[in-house]
Amino acid sequence: MRVQDLRGGPFAMPLTSPAFPHGPYRFIDREYLVITYETDMAALRAVVPQPLEVSEPIVKFEFMRMPDSTGFGDYTEAGQVIPVTLDGRPGSYVHAMFLDNHSPIAGGRELWGFPKKLGAPHLSVASDTLVGTLDYGPVRIATATMGFKHHAVAPEAVLGALAEPNYLLKVIPHVDGSLRVCELVRFHTTDVTLKGAWTGPASLELHPHALAPVADLPVRRVVSALHFVTDLTLALGTVVHDYSSSLPKE
C-alpha cells in the first residue's frame, strides 16, 4: 500500500475492516430508563474535570435499549451521567458507560471519547415493572426498577434536556504509554422525535466493584424516574478544551 493511498482513506481501525462505519448515526425507538438520584458532592467533584462545574449532588443512572442504530445494530447500554454547567450553560458529563456490543464500544471511544467498557446491561418489562440491570462479568452492580407508565410526562421537559450539550473526556495514550490526547469534547443529539414519556415510583441499588466503580457515586436518595422512547441522531463532536499543553510532564 502506497503512502498516498493512506491519505483520506483510513478513518478507524482495523485499516482494512473498521470496527464501525462512517456516520451520521441514527437511532430508532431508543428506549431510556433514567433514575435521578442524590449522591455525595465531594465524590462528584473528584471525577468531573474542570472547567465543567457541579452545582448540586445529582447523578442520572441511565439504561438504554437501542434496537435499531445505524452501523451499530442492536445493543443495550447503562451508565452514569452528571449534570454540569460550562460558562453558566447547563449540560451533562458522561462519567461511565457499560454496553454489550463491540462496534459501539470502539466507535464511541475512538470518535467522541465515550467512557465505554464491556458489560451486560438489560432493560425489560417484568409484569407491572420496568427493570434495568447491569452486570460486570458475573457480578450484579446495578438494579433499577420503576412502575411501568404510571404517569405521562409533558414532552417539553424531555426535549429540553435532550437539546442540552453533553461532555466527554477523551484520553488517548501515545505508543510509549504517555499521554497524547486529553480533550474535553462536546456533542449534541439532533433530529429528535419523542414518542412518549412517563414517570412512576422508582428504586436504584448500586454495588461496589473494583473495575466498575459505579457505587463510588453512592445513592443517598432517589429524586425521580423517567421512561421515554425516542428517535434521534447522535451528532459528531467538537473539542472545547485541550488539556495536553497544561498537564504536567512526567
228-240 burial, b at 16+ Cβ within 10 Å, e below that, comes to bbbebebbebeee
How far is Cα 204 from Cα 133, in angstroms, rounded to an integer?
10
The amino acid sitting at 25 is Y
Cell of 92: 451533562
116 is catalytic: yes
Q: Residue 42 belongs to what H/E stretch? A: helix 41-47
How far is Cα 29 from Cα 72, in angstroms, rounded to an integer?
14
How far is Cα 81 from Cα 98, in angstroms, rounded to an integer?
12
Of 226, 208, 184, 218, nearest to 64 by C-alpha is 226
What residues are paired with 160 via a beta bridge? Answer: none
Question: Burial of 144 by CB count in 10 Å (0-12 exposed, 13-18 middle, 19+ buried)?
Answer: buried
Per the residue annotation, which of 116, 117, 149, 195 is the catalytic one? 116
Report, as residue numbers or ranges, the catalytic residues: 116
